[in-house]
Amino acid sequence: MNPPVPTRLAALRDAMQQHGIAAVLVPSADPHLSEYLPAHWQARTWLSGFDGSAGTLVISATKAGLWTDSRYFSQAEQQLAGSGIALMKERVADVPDHLAWLQQQLQRGDVLAVAGDSLSVNGQRQIERKLAVGGATVRIDLDLPGLIWPDRPALPQAPVFAHDPIYACVPRTDKLARLREAMRAQGASHHLLSSLDDIAWLTNLRGSDVECNPVFLAHLLVEAEGRAVLFVDRAKFDDALVAELAADGIDIAPYATITRALGALTADDKLLLDSSRVVSAIAAAIPAHAARIEAANPSTAFKAIKTAAELGHIREVMRHDGVALVRAFRELEERLAAGESLTELDVDALLHRQRSAQPGWIGESFATIAGYLANGALPHYRATPEAHSMLQAEGLLLVDSGGQYLGGTTDITRVLALGETTPEQRRDATLVMKGMIALSRARFPKGASGPQLDALARAPLWASGMDYGHGTGHGVGYFLNVHEGPHGIRPPSAGGALVPLEPGMISSIEPGLYKPGRHGIRHENLAVVIAADQTEFGEFLAFETLTLCPFDRRALEPALLNPDERAWLDDYHATVRAALSPLLDGDDLAWLHRHCEPLR
């Protein structure tokens, strides 16, 4: 059994004193800078007890703070209680960020330790610049949390498999050839990739080393005029797959030998790497005599634009995912009406059972969020056997879920009215719906970016003095990570990249509203960017909605929708009815038709 958090912090502080360390920074990161981490690299969670997906822990000799965003404020308050770690709310007035806080705490000559396998090259540079002002320095060669972590989980050993060519659509040899063209254009002789989704996409391989993300632990070193080497645990591959990769110009080498290979680069070599996607511990192995070209991984932009064949598979996946949702929601509705006692955990089980029966299903794309009433106000809430709510025949249930299929990745949120709702609940759900419709109907010039469109989804809430603290949309992978760059729909930020939206890019559209202690609202569809019009002012783009599942109109106040908004919702439901009806029958088909009727 793990010792309590204060005991863990005390052990860390003892180690800090032994090594002459004034403070320790523990990011939520691994050597691949993934959003979701294998247990082996969840040091921040182990030290603090806070298990949200985003957070940064900083410990000094006398103080400790955990920085996280508004999605996790309530969760962090609960999980940090009694730990001796203060919750530091990101982007809240008068709360310094973790680097500003460190500047206040550290004196000239003090040393900050952060494990180099959990810090990007850019991140290290930023910390060094900030701390240099006060004369403090950084060590990346000392993993103090790892030194005191008993029974640290081993690295995952899940097998790696080839993405079925029927669904992969483009051979790995073609993807590598395209990558090499981009390398040559930048004058690179070699390219290092550590980001797992880039590697999985380029190689047409998938795994399950990261929960809900079909990726595997690996680094990839590609020669512009030679072969590629995949640094990965050989035991994860069968002999046939190794032979297949070798025939396509990809050799296998042990995972830990990436630094040795980088160290062998010569003065004539020019290495392309993304300094925001490669960790310091790996980059430290690059010889000083080898030139670096620091730029975004070309594959990140390539995989963001889905091909026509991929979109065909995705549209079919959306039909089957919609069928699963209809069957699950119909059963939930009927069992509640019959007076059966159900919990948030039952919602997760229903969705899992129905999705797992669909063709090409592999698993969930993230842990299901089923938040009833006040729990819905926690954007990343997760019911557990130890803490969950019973469902009642009243109020709102927020359900955010998704699936991984061979032909695509889904992510959808619906707000269900389980019975009588209040005027406030219906008004809030409708204001969020108005924002979703506004963005879904948007026309925008080619070259526009997500931050330029974000306000469309917020305007109805702003008009009522309300807002939400998360982005409005994220990219989605193709049988890959449910969160994918480089594009996104979020408020503009200082220095933030404005990535143009391009045809073939998939994004979620998911405005929300959260009232702690009362309820949470989020409506979410996935949409693909498509060509719309060519006018005298140039090319214009639009969104095609991909997700196919009715909204619960009982949660809405139709009188608050204008004629155009009502028409959009009716048209959407007509599309859903036409797409899903051939795959349903009996009570499920009747439920679909009932929930797709026009608004009255």
Domain membership flag for residue 234: yes
3-state SS, one letter per residue, for 211-242: CCECCCCCEEEEECCCCEEEECCHHHCCHHHH
Taking only the tens place, the pLDDT of each residue in 239-283 is 999 999 999 999 999 999 999 999 999 999 999 999 999 999 999
Q: Is the pLDDT of residue 383 over 90?
A: no
Domain membership flag for residue 156: no
Q: Any residues with CB less than 8 A from the CB of 594 and at least 6 apart, and which?
A: none
How many C-alpha atoms does 475 have within 13 Å on its Cβ side? 26
Q: What confidence score (pLDDT) does residue 384 get? A: 86
Residues 91-120 as b/e (b if ≥16 CB within 10 A, e otherwise) read: eeeeeeebbebbeebbeeebbbbbbbbbbb
Tell me the CATH number at 213: 3.40.350.10
Q: Which two tokens stand for residue 529?
A: 């960017």
**Distances, alpha carbon 379 to alpha carbons 392, 519, 553, in Å:** 21, 11, 22
Q: Which two tokens stand for residue 1?
A: 């059994």
Whether residues 271 and 312 share a domain: the answer is no
CB 276 within 8 A of CB 295: no
Mean pLDDT score of the chain: 96
Give the mean pLDDT of 400-414.
98
Whether residues 456 and 397 share a domain: the answer is yes
Q: Any residues with CB less than 8 A from the CB of 185 and at least 6 apart, and which?
A: none
Residue 187 has φ and ψ, to the nearest 5°, of 75, 25
Whether residues 343 and 232 share a domain: the answer is no
Of the residues 102, 119, 148, the one at which a domain ends: 148
Q: Coil, strand or helix: which one is 30? A: coil
Q: What confidence score (pLDDT) does residue 93 get? A: 87
Taking only the tens place, the pLDDT of each residue in 64-93 is 999 998 888 888 998 999 999 999 999 888
Tell me the CATH number at 464: 3.90.230.10
Task: Kindly state the percentage of the chain with pLDDT values over 90.
Answer: 94
Give the mean pLDDT of 18-30.
97
Cα–Cα nearest to 32, from 234, 193, 221, 207: 193
Q: Which two tokens stand for residue 558?
A: 């139709």
Whether residues 173 and 275 share a domain: the answer is yes
Whether residues 142 and 213 share a domain: the answer is no
CB 394 within 8 A of CB 418: yes
Taking only the tens place, the pLDDT of each residue in 175-214 is 999 999 999 999 999 999 999 999 999 999 999 999 999 9
Q: Coil, strand or helix: which one is 423? A: helix
CB 178 within 8 A of CB 302: yes
Whether residues 209 and 242 share a domain: the answer is yes
Taking only the tens place, the pLDDT of each residue in 434-492 is 999 999 999 999 999 999 999 999 999 999 999 998 999 999 999 999 999 999 999 99
pTM recorded for the entire structure:
0.95
Using only the alpha carbons of the chain, give its radius of gyration: 25
Angle at 539 between CA 538 and CA 543, to 5 degrees: 145
Of the residues 271, 304, 337, the one at which a domain ends: 304
Domain membership flag for residue 490: yes
Whether residues 32 and 128 share a domain: the answer is yes
Whether residues 123 and 267 share a domain: the answer is no
Task: Kindly state the percentage of the chain with pLDDT values over 70.
Answer: 100
Q: Coil, strand or helix: which one is 455? A: helix
Q: Is the pLDDT of residue 2 over 80?
A: no
Environment class of 267 (CB within 10 Å of its CB; exposed 0-12, middle 13-18, buried 19+): exposed
Domain membership flag for residue 155: no
3-state SS, one letter per residue, for 33-71: CCCCCCHHHCHHHHHHCCCCCCCEEEEECCCEEEEECHH
Whether residues 543 and 396 share a domain: the answer is yes
Q: What confidence score (pLDDT) does residue 382 get? A: 87
Q: What is the DSSP letter of 499?
A: P
Q: How confident is the model at residue 494 (pLDDT cuts 50, 70, 90)?
A: confident
Number of domains in the chain: 3
Whether residues 512 and 373 share a domain: the answer is yes
Q: Residue 272's domain spans which residues?
A: 161-304
Q: What whole-number distance in Å separates Cα of residue 597 and Cα of residue 577?
A: 9
Whether residues 222 and 239 share a domain: the answer is yes
Q: Which two tokens stand for residue 38?
A: 């294998």
Domain membership flag for residue 518: yes
Q: What confidence score (pLDDT) does residue 16 get? A: 97
How many C-alpha atoms does 532 have within 13 Å on its Cβ side? 20
Between the two ends of the chain, the Cα-to-Cα distance in Å is 58
Taking only the tens place, the pLDDT of each residue in 315-359 is 999 999 999 999 999 999 999 999 999 999 999 999 999 999 999
Q: What confidence score (pLDDT) does residue 190 get? A: 98
Q: How confident is the model at residue 367 (pLDDT cuts 50, 70, 90)?
A: very high
Side by side, the strands of the sheet bearing 361-364 are: 361-364, 403-405, 408-409
Cα–Cα nearest to 60, from 18, 112, 129: 112
Of the residues 281, 304, 327, the one at which a domain ends: 304
Taking only the tens place, the pLDDT of each residue in 571-588 is 999 999 999 999 999 999
Domain membership flag for residue 88: yes
Q: What confidence score (pLDDT) does residue 49 get? A: 95
Give the mean pLDDT of 140-147.
96
Domain membership flag for residue 600: no
Q: Is the pLDDT of residue 380 over 90?
A: no
Q: Are strands 250-253 and 228-231 parallel, antiparallel or unpaired?
A: parallel
Whether residues 190 and 318 share a domain: the answer is no
Q: Is the pLDDT of residue 513 over 70?
A: yes
Domain membership flag for residue 392: yes
Q: How confident is the model at residue 1 (pLDDT cuts 50, 70, 90)?
A: low
Q: Coil, strand or helix: which one is 471? A: coil
